Structure 1
Amino acid sequence: MPKVKVADSTVLPEKCPKILAFANQKGGSGKSTGAVHAADWFIQKGRSAILVDADGQQSSSSWLKDLELPCKVISDPEALFDELPRLAKSYDVVVVDGPGNASEVTKAVLIRSDLILIPCRDSMIDLASTGKIVQFVRQAKEIRGGLPIAAIYLNAVKDNTILLREAREALQSGIIPLLNTTLPDRQCIKDSPGQGNTVFRMKGEAARTAARAYTKLFVEALKLFDSES
Protein backbone atom coordinates (compact mmCIF):
# COMPACT_ATOMS: atom_id res chain seq x y z
CA MET A 1 0.00 0.00 0.00
CA PRO A 2 1.41 3.43 -0.88
CA LYS A 3 2.35 5.54 2.10
CA VAL A 4 0.48 8.78 1.41
CA LYS A 5 0.76 11.61 3.89
CA VAL A 6 -2.48 13.24 4.96
CA ALA A 7 -2.96 16.99 5.28
CA ASP A 8 -3.22 18.21 8.86
CA SER A 9 -3.44 21.89 9.72
CA THR A 10 -3.11 21.37 13.49
CA VAL A 11 -0.82 23.93 15.11
CA LEU A 12 1.53 22.56 17.75
CA PRO A 13 1.76 24.27 21.15
CA GLU A 14 4.71 26.59 21.71
CA LYS A 15 6.41 24.28 24.18
CA CYS A 16 6.79 20.62 23.19
CA PRO A 17 8.59 17.83 25.04
CA LYS A 18 12.04 16.90 23.80
CA ILE A 19 11.59 13.33 25.04
CA LEU A 20 8.13 11.76 24.90
CA ALA A 21 7.73 8.20 26.17
CA PHE A 22 4.95 5.64 26.09
CA ALA A 23 5.10 3.49 29.21
CA ASN A 24 3.12 0.72 30.85
CA GLN A 25 4.41 -2.44 32.45
CA LYS A 26 1.59 -4.48 30.90
CA GLY A 27 2.17 -5.82 27.41
CA GLY A 28 -0.54 -5.26 24.83
CA SER A 29 -1.62 -1.91 26.24
CA GLY A 30 -0.85 -0.03 23.02
CA LYS A 31 2.57 1.47 23.76
CA SER A 32 4.22 0.54 20.48
CA THR A 33 1.21 1.58 18.42
CA GLY A 34 1.06 4.92 20.19
CA ALA A 35 4.81 5.52 19.91
CA VAL A 36 4.99 4.76 16.19
CA HIS A 37 1.97 6.92 15.41
CA ALA A 38 3.42 9.75 17.52
CA ALA A 39 6.77 9.62 15.70
CA ASP A 40 5.06 9.63 12.31
CA TRP A 41 2.71 12.44 13.38
CA PHE A 42 5.55 14.70 14.51
CA ILE A 43 7.47 14.09 11.29
CA GLN A 44 4.37 14.90 9.23
CA LYS A 45 4.08 18.11 11.26
CA GLY A 46 7.53 19.11 10.04
CA ARG A 47 9.47 18.17 13.19
CA SER A 48 12.57 16.00 13.15
CA ALA A 49 11.86 12.90 15.23
CA ILE A 50 13.43 9.58 16.09
CA LEU A 51 11.87 6.60 17.83
CA VAL A 52 13.90 4.79 20.48
CA ASP A 53 12.76 1.20 20.87
CA ALA A 54 13.46 0.25 24.49
CA ASP A 55 11.16 -2.79 24.41
CA GLY A 56 12.89 -6.16 24.24
CA GLN A 57 10.38 -7.40 21.64
CA GLN A 58 11.54 -4.65 19.23
CA SER A 59 8.15 -4.54 17.51
CA SER A 60 8.19 -0.78 16.94
CA SER A 61 11.68 -0.74 15.38
CA SER A 62 10.65 -3.37 12.80
CA TRP A 63 7.59 -1.27 12.03
CA LEU A 64 9.66 1.91 11.64
CA LYS A 65 11.90 0.19 9.08
CA ASP A 66 8.83 -0.40 6.90
CA LEU A 67 7.90 3.26 7.30
CA GLU A 68 11.50 4.31 6.55
CA LEU A 69 11.58 6.57 9.62
CA PRO A 70 14.51 7.10 12.01
CA CYS A 71 14.76 4.52 14.77
CA LYS A 72 17.28 3.27 17.30
CA VAL A 73 17.13 0.17 19.52
CA ILE A 74 18.40 0.74 23.07
CA SER A 75 17.36 -1.75 25.73
CA ASP A 76 20.15 -1.28 28.27
CA PRO A 77 19.15 1.11 31.09
CA GLU A 78 22.59 2.73 31.41
CA ALA A 79 22.84 3.25 27.67
CA LEU A 80 19.34 4.77 27.63
CA PHE A 81 20.22 7.15 30.44
CA ASP A 82 23.26 8.41 28.51
CA GLU A 83 21.87 8.34 24.97
CA LEU A 84 18.41 9.93 25.31
CA PRO A 85 19.68 13.46 26.11
CA ARG A 86 22.25 13.19 23.30
CA LEU A 87 19.53 12.28 20.80
CA ALA A 88 17.40 15.16 22.12
CA LYS A 89 20.13 17.56 20.97
CA SER A 90 19.95 16.18 17.42
CA TYR A 91 16.18 15.87 16.99
CA ASP A 92 13.18 18.05 17.80
CA VAL A 93 11.45 15.10 19.46
CA VAL A 94 12.66 11.74 20.75
CA VAL A 95 9.78 9.24 21.08
CA VAL A 96 10.46 6.25 23.35
CA ASP A 97 8.62 2.95 23.22
CA GLY A 98 9.08 1.64 26.75
CA PRO A 99 9.27 -2.02 27.79
CA GLY A 100 6.24 -4.09 28.76
CA ASN A 101 7.46 -4.64 32.31
CA ALA A 102 8.42 -2.75 35.45
CA SER A 103 12.19 -2.73 35.15
CA GLU A 104 15.34 -0.62 35.40
CA VAL A 105 14.79 0.24 31.74
CA THR A 106 11.41 1.74 32.62
CA LYS A 107 13.00 3.76 35.42
CA ALA A 108 15.70 5.07 33.09
CA VAL A 109 13.04 6.15 30.60
CA LEU A 110 11.08 7.98 33.32
CA ILE A 111 14.16 9.73 34.64
CA ARG A 112 15.03 11.12 31.20
CA SER A 113 11.58 11.84 29.70
CA ASP A 114 9.73 15.14 29.70
CA LEU A 115 6.28 13.70 28.98
CA ILE A 116 4.99 10.19 29.72
CA LEU A 117 1.84 8.83 28.11
CA ILE A 118 0.38 5.70 29.69
CA PRO A 119 -2.04 3.77 27.46
CA CYS A 120 -4.61 1.66 29.27
CA ARG A 121 -7.41 -0.58 28.07
CA ASP A 122 -10.79 -0.45 29.76
CA SER A 123 -10.67 -3.89 31.42
CA MET A 124 -10.36 -4.23 35.18
CA ILE A 125 -7.13 -6.25 34.75
CA ASP A 126 -5.56 -3.46 32.74
CA LEU A 127 -6.79 -0.77 35.13
CA ALA A 128 -5.30 -2.64 38.09
CA SER A 129 -1.99 -3.05 36.27
CA THR A 130 -1.38 0.71 36.06
CA GLY A 131 -0.52 0.84 39.78
CA LYS A 132 3.17 0.04 39.36
CA ILE A 133 3.85 2.51 36.55
CA VAL A 134 1.97 5.22 38.47
CA GLN A 135 4.23 4.50 41.47
CA PHE A 136 7.33 4.76 39.26
CA VAL A 137 6.12 8.07 37.80
CA ARG A 138 5.39 9.48 41.26
CA GLN A 139 8.89 8.56 42.44
CA ALA A 140 10.50 10.09 39.33
CA LYS A 141 8.52 13.32 39.82
CA GLU A 142 9.72 13.53 43.43
CA ILE A 143 13.34 13.07 42.37
CA ARG A 144 13.13 15.53 39.47
CA GLY A 145 10.99 18.21 41.06
CA GLY A 146 7.83 17.68 39.05
CA LEU A 147 9.03 16.01 35.87
CA PRO A 148 8.05 14.02 33.94
CA ILE A 149 4.62 15.39 33.16
CA ALA A 150 2.43 12.30 32.82
CA ALA A 151 -1.05 11.37 31.64
CA ILE A 152 -3.10 8.21 31.15
CA TYR A 153 -5.27 7.63 28.11
CA LEU A 154 -7.81 4.92 27.36
CA ASN A 155 -6.89 2.88 24.32
CA ALA A 156 -8.88 0.58 22.01
CA VAL A 157 -12.23 1.38 23.63
CA LYS A 158 -15.78 0.99 22.40
CA ASP A 159 -17.97 4.08 22.78
CA ASN A 160 -20.78 4.36 25.32
CA THR A 161 -20.15 1.15 27.21
CA ILE A 162 -20.41 0.45 30.93
CA LEU A 163 -16.75 -0.63 30.89
CA LEU A 164 -15.69 2.72 29.47
CA ARG A 165 -17.71 4.64 32.04
CA GLU A 166 -16.32 2.54 34.91
CA ALA A 167 -12.77 2.91 33.58
CA ARG A 168 -13.12 6.69 33.45
CA GLU A 169 -14.46 6.77 37.00
CA ALA A 170 -11.62 4.55 38.25
CA LEU A 171 -8.86 6.56 36.60
CA GLN A 172 -10.14 10.10 37.16
CA SER A 173 -9.51 9.84 40.89
CA GLY A 174 -5.81 8.98 40.46
CA ILE A 175 -2.74 11.17 40.94
CA ILE A 176 -1.98 11.08 37.20
CA PRO A 177 -4.56 12.90 35.03
CA LEU A 178 -6.72 11.00 32.56
CA LEU A 179 -6.88 12.58 29.12
CA ASN A 180 -10.37 13.26 27.80
CA THR A 181 -9.51 11.85 24.39
CA THR A 182 -9.90 8.11 23.95
CA LEU A 183 -8.61 5.98 21.10
CA PRO A 184 -11.29 3.86 19.42
CA ASP A 185 -11.15 0.12 18.84
CA ARG A 186 -10.63 0.14 15.07
CA GLN A 187 -9.43 -2.62 12.78
CA CYS A 188 -7.32 -0.19 10.73
CA ILE A 189 -5.22 0.59 13.84
CA LYS A 190 -4.74 -3.13 14.50
CA ASP A 191 -3.80 -3.69 10.85
CA SER A 192 -1.28 -0.84 10.63
CA PRO A 193 1.82 -2.73 11.94
CA GLY A 194 1.28 -5.65 9.57
CA GLN A 195 0.86 -3.25 6.67
CA GLY A 196 3.97 -1.28 7.63
CA ASN A 197 1.80 1.80 7.79
CA THR A 198 0.08 4.24 10.13
CA VAL A 199 -3.49 5.49 10.00
CA PHE A 200 -2.09 8.86 8.93
CA ARG A 201 -1.00 7.27 5.64
CA MET A 202 -3.85 4.82 5.08
CA LYS A 203 -6.87 5.44 2.87
CA GLY A 204 -10.54 5.22 3.81
CA GLU A 205 -12.91 6.88 6.26
CA ALA A 206 -12.05 4.46 9.10
CA ALA A 207 -8.37 5.43 8.87
CA ARG A 208 -9.24 9.13 8.69
CA THR A 209 -11.41 8.81 11.81
CA ALA A 210 -8.60 7.01 13.66
CA ALA A 211 -6.09 9.64 12.49
CA ARG A 212 -8.29 12.41 13.87
CA ALA A 213 -8.48 10.58 17.21
CA TYR A 214 -4.69 10.26 17.39
CA THR A 215 -4.23 13.91 16.46
CA LYS A 216 -6.71 14.98 19.14
CA LEU A 217 -4.93 12.79 21.70
CA PHE A 218 -1.46 14.15 20.90
CA VAL A 219 -2.64 17.76 20.87
CA GLU A 220 -4.36 17.33 24.24
CA ALA A 221 -1.21 15.74 25.70
CA LEU A 222 1.00 18.53 24.33
CA LYS A 223 -1.29 21.21 25.73
CA LEU A 224 -1.11 19.51 29.13
CA PHE A 225 2.68 19.53 28.90
CA ASP A 226 2.70 23.16 27.79
CA SER A 227 0.53 24.22 30.72
CA GLU A 228 2.29 22.23 33.44
CA SER A 229 5.96 22.42 32.48
Structure 2
Amino acid sequence: MPAVLVVEDESAIAELIAINLRHAGFEVTLAENADQAQMAVDAVLPDLVLLDWMLPGQSGVALARRWRGEARTKELPIIMLTARADESDKVAGLDAGADDYLTKPFSTQELLARIRAVLRRRVPEALDSAVEVGGLRLDPSTRRVSRNGVDLKLGPTEFRLLHFLMTHPERVHSRAQLLDRVWGDHVFIEERTVDVHVKRLREALTPARCAQMIETVRGAGYRLTQQVAVSSH
Protein backbone atom coordinates (compact mmCIF):
# COMPACT_ATOMS: atom_id res chain seq x y z
CA MET A 1 0.00 0.00 0.00
CA PRO A 2 1.33 3.48 -0.81
CA ALA A 3 2.73 5.41 2.18
CA VAL A 4 1.63 9.03 2.60
CA LEU A 5 3.18 11.55 4.99
CA VAL A 6 0.66 14.19 6.08
CA VAL A 7 2.34 17.40 7.30
CA GLU A 8 -0.42 19.48 8.91
CA ASP A 9 -0.37 21.39 12.21
CA GLU A 10 -4.14 21.50 12.70
CA SER A 11 -4.73 18.15 14.38
CA ALA A 12 -8.45 17.93 13.52
CA ILE A 13 -7.72 18.33 9.80
CA ALA A 14 -4.73 15.95 9.98
CA GLU A 15 -6.79 13.24 11.71
CA LEU A 16 -9.65 13.59 9.22
CA ILE A 17 -7.25 13.26 6.27
CA ALA A 18 -5.56 10.27 7.93
CA ILE A 19 -8.86 8.45 8.54
CA ASN A 20 -9.97 8.97 4.93
CA LEU A 21 -6.63 7.91 3.47
CA ARG A 22 -6.40 4.78 5.63
CA HIS A 23 -9.95 3.89 4.64
CA ALA A 24 -8.85 4.19 0.98
CA GLY A 25 -5.94 1.79 1.54
CA PHE A 26 -3.04 4.15 2.22
CA GLU A 27 -0.49 3.88 5.02
CA VAL A 28 -0.39 7.24 6.84
CA THR A 29 2.22 9.00 8.98
CA LEU A 30 1.45 12.37 10.60
CA ALA A 31 3.81 15.28 11.27
CA GLU A 32 2.87 18.62 12.87
CA ASN A 33 5.82 20.73 11.72
CA ALA A 34 8.83 20.86 9.41
CA ASP A 35 11.18 19.20 11.95
CA GLN A 36 8.86 16.23 12.48
CA ALA A 37 8.34 15.96 8.72
CA GLN A 38 12.11 15.94 8.10
CA MET A 39 12.60 13.22 10.74
CA ALA A 40 9.86 11.09 9.14
CA VAL A 41 11.39 11.48 5.66
CA ASP A 42 14.90 10.74 6.99
CA ALA A 43 13.62 7.49 8.52
CA VAL A 44 11.59 6.21 5.53
CA LEU A 45 10.98 7.89 2.22
CA PRO A 46 7.18 8.00 1.73
CA ASP A 47 5.47 7.52 -1.65
CA LEU A 48 3.90 10.98 -1.38
CA VAL A 49 3.74 13.99 0.97
CA LEU A 50 0.66 16.12 1.68
CA LEU A 51 2.30 19.33 2.81
CA ASP A 52 0.49 22.24 4.45
CA TRP A 53 1.66 25.68 3.30
CA MET A 54 1.33 27.34 6.75
CA LEU A 55 3.36 25.45 9.35
CA PRO A 56 4.76 26.68 12.68
CA GLY A 57 8.45 27.50 12.25
CA GLN A 58 9.62 26.65 8.76
CA SER A 59 6.89 26.95 6.10
CA GLY A 60 5.77 24.12 3.84
CA VAL A 61 7.07 26.02 0.82
CA ALA A 62 10.56 26.29 2.35
CA LEU A 63 10.48 22.58 3.22
CA ALA A 64 9.44 21.65 -0.34
CA ARG A 65 12.34 23.74 -1.69
CA ARG A 66 14.78 21.99 0.64
CA TRP A 67 13.58 18.53 -0.43
CA ARG A 68 13.79 19.43 -4.11
CA GLY A 69 17.40 20.52 -3.58
CA GLU A 70 18.56 17.20 -2.11
CA ALA A 71 19.30 14.15 -4.25
CA ARG A 72 17.45 11.67 -2.00
CA THR A 73 14.17 13.66 -1.94
CA LYS A 74 14.40 15.36 -5.34
CA GLU A 75 11.75 13.10 -6.88
CA LEU A 76 9.50 12.90 -3.81
CA PRO A 77 5.88 13.58 -4.90
CA ILE A 78 4.47 16.60 -3.01
CA ILE A 79 0.90 17.97 -2.92
CA MET A 80 0.60 21.35 -1.19
CA LEU A 81 -2.43 21.99 1.03
CA THR A 82 -3.36 25.60 1.60
CA ALA A 83 -6.11 28.03 2.56
CA ARG A 84 -4.71 30.44 -0.04
CA ALA A 85 -6.67 30.47 -3.29
CA ASP A 86 -4.74 33.26 -5.06
CA GLU A 87 -3.17 32.43 -8.41
CA SER A 88 0.15 33.93 -7.25
CA ASP A 89 0.20 31.61 -4.22
CA LYS A 90 -0.51 28.61 -6.39
CA VAL A 91 2.37 29.57 -8.68
CA ALA A 92 4.66 30.03 -5.65
CA GLY A 93 3.74 26.55 -4.38
CA LEU A 94 4.37 24.93 -7.75
CA ASP A 95 7.61 26.90 -8.18
CA ALA A 96 8.79 25.52 -4.84
CA GLY A 97 8.52 22.07 -6.39
CA ALA A 98 5.01 20.88 -5.50
CA ASP A 99 3.49 18.42 -7.99
CA ASP A 100 -0.02 19.62 -7.27
CA TYR A 101 -1.96 22.06 -5.12
CA LEU A 102 -5.21 21.73 -3.15
CA THR A 103 -7.10 24.67 -1.63
CA LYS A 104 -8.96 24.10 1.66
CA PRO A 105 -11.69 23.11 2.10
CA PHE A 106 -11.51 20.13 -0.28
CA SER A 107 -13.51 16.92 -0.57
CA THR A 108 -12.06 13.49 0.18
CA GLN A 109 -12.88 12.45 -3.39
CA GLU A 110 -10.84 15.30 -4.83
CA LEU A 111 -7.94 14.62 -2.48
CA LEU A 112 -7.84 10.92 -3.42
CA ALA A 113 -8.11 11.73 -7.13
CA ARG A 114 -5.19 14.17 -6.92
CA ILE A 115 -3.06 11.69 -4.94
CA ARG A 116 -3.70 8.89 -7.42
CA ALA A 117 -2.98 11.20 -10.38
CA VAL A 118 0.36 12.31 -8.91
CA LEU A 119 1.36 8.72 -8.07
CA ARG A 120 0.38 7.59 -11.56
CA ARG A 121 2.51 10.32 -13.15
CA ARG A 122 5.47 9.30 -11.04
CA VAL A 123 5.23 5.52 -11.50
CA PRO A 124 3.19 4.88 -14.64
CA GLU A 125 3.99 1.17 -14.82
CA ALA A 126 3.24 0.43 -11.19
CA LEU A 127 -0.48 1.04 -11.06
CA ASP A 128 -2.45 -0.72 -13.76
CA SER A 129 -0.73 -2.55 -16.58
CA ALA A 130 -0.15 -6.28 -16.20
CA VAL A 131 3.29 -7.69 -16.99
CA GLU A 132 4.13 -11.11 -18.44
CA VAL A 133 7.55 -12.78 -18.68
CA GLY A 134 8.09 -16.43 -19.61
CA GLY A 135 4.44 -17.29 -18.95
CA LEU A 136 4.57 -15.68 -15.49
CA ARG A 137 1.92 -12.97 -15.24
CA LEU A 138 1.61 -10.23 -12.63
CA ASP A 139 -1.34 -7.84 -12.48
CA PRO A 140 -0.83 -4.86 -10.13
CA SER A 141 -4.48 -3.75 -10.27
CA THR A 142 -5.77 -7.09 -8.89
CA ARG A 143 -2.53 -8.02 -7.00
CA ARG A 144 -2.57 -11.44 -8.70
CA VAL A 145 0.38 -13.50 -9.87
CA SER A 146 -0.12 -16.67 -11.91
CA ARG A 147 1.59 -19.04 -14.36
CA ASN A 148 -0.09 -21.63 -16.54
CA GLY A 149 -3.31 -21.32 -14.55
CA VAL A 150 -1.60 -21.68 -11.17
CA ASP A 151 -2.33 -18.76 -8.82
CA LEU A 152 0.62 -17.86 -6.59
CA LYS A 153 0.51 -16.37 -3.09
CA LEU A 154 3.02 -13.56 -2.53
CA GLY A 155 3.55 -11.21 0.41
CA PRO A 156 3.50 -7.45 -0.33
CA THR A 157 7.31 -7.09 -0.40
CA GLU A 158 7.77 -10.17 -2.61
CA PHE A 159 5.05 -8.79 -4.90
CA ARG A 160 6.87 -5.45 -5.27
CA LEU A 161 10.20 -7.22 -5.76
CA LEU A 162 8.80 -9.48 -8.48
CA HIS A 163 7.05 -6.55 -10.15
CA PHE A 164 10.30 -4.59 -10.33
CA LEU A 165 12.26 -7.58 -11.69
CA MET A 166 9.53 -8.36 -14.26
CA THR A 167 9.45 -4.77 -15.53
CA HIS A 168 13.26 -4.88 -15.94
CA PRO A 169 13.84 -8.47 -17.19
CA GLU A 170 17.28 -9.90 -18.03
CA ARG A 171 18.99 -7.00 -16.22
CA VAL A 172 21.20 -7.60 -13.19
CA HIS A 173 20.30 -5.48 -10.15
CA SER A 174 22.58 -5.12 -7.13
CA ARG A 175 21.16 -5.47 -3.63
CA ALA A 176 21.60 -1.71 -3.10
CA GLN A 177 19.62 -0.95 -6.29
CA LEU A 178 16.83 -3.32 -5.23
CA LEU A 179 16.67 -1.73 -1.77
CA ASP A 180 16.36 1.68 -3.38
CA ARG A 181 13.72 0.74 -5.95
CA VAL A 182 11.66 -1.86 -4.07
CA TRP A 183 11.93 -0.78 -0.44
CA GLY A 184 11.79 2.93 -1.32
CA ASP A 185 15.17 3.82 0.12
CA HIS A 186 14.72 2.71 3.70
CA VAL A 187 17.90 3.79 5.43
CA PHE A 188 17.75 1.15 8.17
CA ILE A 189 17.44 -1.95 6.01
CA GLU A 190 20.53 -4.09 5.49
CA GLU A 191 21.40 -5.57 2.12
CA ARG A 192 21.06 -9.10 3.56
CA THR A 193 17.31 -8.40 3.82
CA VAL A 194 17.16 -8.57 0.02
CA ASP A 195 18.49 -12.15 0.12
CA VAL A 196 15.78 -13.17 2.60
CA HIS A 197 13.01 -11.78 0.38
CA VAL A 198 14.52 -13.31 -2.78
CA LYS A 199 14.48 -16.68 -0.98
CA ARG A 200 10.81 -16.13 -0.03
CA LEU A 201 9.99 -15.06 -3.57
CA ARG A 202 11.55 -18.25 -4.98
CA GLU A 203 9.53 -20.32 -2.49
CA ALA A 204 6.35 -18.52 -3.57
CA LEU A 205 7.12 -19.23 -7.25
CA THR A 206 7.91 -22.93 -6.67
CA PRO A 207 4.29 -24.23 -7.09
CA ALA A 208 4.35 -22.90 -10.68
CA ARG A 209 7.83 -24.33 -11.29
CA CYS A 210 9.40 -20.99 -12.11
CA ALA A 211 11.57 -20.30 -9.04
CA GLN A 212 14.63 -20.68 -11.25
CA MET A 213 13.61 -17.57 -13.20
CA ILE A 214 15.10 -15.54 -10.32
CA GLU A 215 18.83 -15.92 -10.93
CA THR A 216 21.64 -15.12 -8.53
CA VAL A 217 24.52 -13.47 -10.39
CA ARG A 218 27.57 -14.10 -8.20
CA GLY A 219 29.16 -10.93 -6.88
CA ALA A 220 26.65 -8.72 -8.71
CA GLY A 221 23.07 -9.28 -7.53
CA TYR A 222 19.89 -10.77 -8.99
CA ARG A 223 18.01 -10.86 -12.26
CA LEU A 224 14.80 -12.27 -13.65
CA THR A 225 15.33 -14.35 -16.78
CA GLN A 226 12.99 -16.38 -18.94
CA GLN A 227 15.81 -18.32 -20.62
CA VAL A 228 15.95 -20.87 -17.79
CA ALA A 229 12.16 -21.28 -17.70
CA VAL A 230 11.98 -21.92 -21.45
CA SER A 231 14.80 -24.46 -21.46
CA SER A 232 13.36 -26.38 -18.50
CA HIS A 233 10.14 -27.52 -20.23
Band the TM-score falls in, shorter-chain normalisation? 0.3 to 0.5
Structure of larger gyration radius? 2
TM-score of the two chains, using structure 1 as the length reference: 0.35
TM-score of the two chains, using structure 2 as the length reference: 0.34
Q: Report which of the two has the higher share of strand.
A: 2
Higher-RCO chain (CA-CA 8 Å, sequence separation at least 6)? 1
